[in-house]
Chains A and B, each alone.
Chain A
Amino acid sequence: DSGVTQTPKHLITATGQRVTLRCSPRSGDLSVYWYQQSLDQGLQFLIQYYNGEERAKGNILERFSAQQFPDLHSELNLSSLELGDSALYFCASSPRGTRQETQYFGPGTRLLVL
């Protein structure tokens, strides 16, 4: 158990809908990262937040957005869902200090868009 929690574990929805995925980082970690893992694209970095502010952006679609709240939990919002958005979505957090780059991954949310 990495200490990172994600909810829900599974999510089934329809095209055009909007969903919110939630992540709680490890206690004391300020950074939260979101990744998408699909069969054909592998693990893709989406976005990073540090202490409530966006720090880095990867291959995140405009239909997707994220935020990190004062209590450091983060949410990833996916809207106008398409079949191709079906994937595993992982959240990771990293510690303060010199080990900031080590990322601890949550168990993931499996999203299925029908």
Chain B
Amino acid sequence: GESVGLHLPTLSVQEGDNSIINCAYSNSASDYFIWYKQESGKGPQFIIDIRSNMDKRQGQRVTVLLNKTVKHLSLQIAATQPGDSAVYFCAEKLSGQNFVFGPGTRLSVLP
């Protein structure tokens, strides 16, 4: 499939290593955040979410950290696998159901 965002920042990691993808958000009033994974030729897929009353949330092999002081969000993927290669987006919820997505980071897993 065609690549999205040909000039995205890229993170290359060795298979089996941990990955950390970062995201800066814009609105200090945002109260809900989501990480999405988008594989080539597919729509974004929900990975994990976190509300602003938390600073950490864990899923299966993934952890999201929220630092409201500096408006920063990170996604940690443990034991990165080839199937994790994709573009990762963070999204923040503004008022109502209006979500703003970050520009994305391309994760490339090296064998």
Q: How large is the interface on A (under 10, 10 to 19, 20 to 34, 35 or more residues)?
A: 20 to 34
Residues B101 and A105 in contact, CB atoms below 8 Å apart: no
B25 proximity list for chain A (CB < 8 A): none
Q: How large is the interface on B (under 10, 10 to 19, 20 to 34, 35 or more residues)?
A: 20 to 34
User: What per-residue 1/0 map shows which CB atoms of B74-94 lie under 8 Å from chain A?
Assistant: 000000000000000100010
Check if A88 is an interface residue, CB within 8 A of chain B. yes
User: How many contacting A-B pairs (Cβ < 8 A)?
Assistant: 63
Which of A14-22, A40-48, A63-71, A73-81 touches B?
A: A40-48
Of residues 6 to 53 in A, which have CB atoms within 8 Å of B's CB atoms? 31, 33, 37, 39, 42-45, 48
Q: In the complex, A8→B98 CA distance in Å? A: 25
A88 proximity list for chain B (CB < 8 A): 4
Check if A83 is an interface residue, CB within 8 A of chain B. no
With most chain B CB atoms within 10 A of its CB, the pick from A4, A90, A105 is A105
Interface residues of B (CB under 8 A from A): 2, 4-6, 32, 34, 36, 42-46, 49, 89, 93, 96-104
